[in-house]
Amino acid sequence: MSAIAVTGTDTGVGKTVFAAALTVALGASYWKPVQAGLEDGSDAASVETLGVPRARIVPEAYRLTTPCSPHRAAELDGVAIDPARLALPRMDGYLVVEGAGGALVPLTRDWLFADQIARWACPTVLVARTALGTINHSLLSIEALRARGVSLLGVAFVGDAQEDSEATIAAVGGVRRLGRLPLLPRLDAAALAAAFAASFDTAAFR
């Protein structure tokens, strides 16, 4: 098995959409180990609508009710997140693992998602939106991941093209610029697969 972690610079940057596209492109399995917030559905349900077969979606280790940081959502549900339960499941082929929120989101009061990625010791993609502020957020995330010894495959951007910002992050952060998913007027499985194929080289993830 080859696992790839997908984390982000913040919540709502497009991690789930990117993770779905990457999972489909690699013929991989998908796992969201901690889902916080269930009222509007789950990320696992979203990736299924975007083309990931249900049979290749691994059930979450934790499903938490409140849409907030996992550490607090767990406390509100009376649940204690145990990092030992977050060991990578054994799968055939590739496994795409989607994080919760940004790289430094707490899973417990003393365990961050970046710490969990470091424990997995798997290559990681940082997803960053191209909106204002992305340079700072991206470079801080890169530093935080590298400080924990995480191996970065590169940065995947989501949004309208911002050539200078994207190039600056790659140059200053010393990371590969993997590509950019545009904002799609119609987001469905076919449109996403076509956009990913046009924007990314799957060899960069193998």
**One-character DSSP codes across 149-189:** TPPEEEEEEESS--HHHHHHHHHHHT--EEEEEPPPSS-SH
- Asked if residue 40 has pLDDT above 90, the reply is no
- Asked if residue 204 has pLDDT above 70, the reply is yes
Backbone φ, ψ for residue 29 (5° rounding):
-100, 160
The sign of the CA dihedral 42, 149, 92, 198 is positive
Burial-class residue 201 by CB neighbours within 10 Å (0-12, 13-18, 19+): exposed
**pLDDT number for residue 39:** 84
List, by residue number, the catalytic residues: 32
Catalogue all structural domains in the chain, each as residue range(s) with its CATH number.
2-205 (3.40.50.300)
Task: Return the number of other C-beta atoms located less than 10 Å from residue 24's C-beta.
Answer: 22
pLDDT band at 1 (very low <50, low <70, confident <90, very high): low
Q: Are 152 and 121 in contact (CB under 8 A)?
A: no
Distance of CA 104 to the CA centre of its chain: 12
Nearest to 97 by CA among 66, 69, 125, 64: 125
DSSP one-letter code for 105? -
Write the pLDDT tens digit of every residue in 66-97: 999 999 999 999 999 999 999 999 999 999 99
Write the pLDDT tens digit of every residue in 103-144: 999 999 999 999 999 999 999 999 999 999 999 999 999 999
Q: How far apart are CA 96 and CA 19, in angstroms?
A: 7
Residues in the chain, total: 206
Higher pLDDT, 39 or 131: 131
Which of 53-88 are b and which e, b meaning 16 or more Cβ less than 10 Å from the residue's Cβ?
eeebbbebbbbbebebbbbebbbeeeeebeeeebeb
Write the pLDDT tens digit of every residue in 135-180: 999 999 999 999 999 999 999 999 999 999 999 999 999 999 999 9
Burial-class residue 176 by CB neighbours within 10 Å (0-12, 13-18, 19+): middle
**Residue for token digits 């055939």?**
92
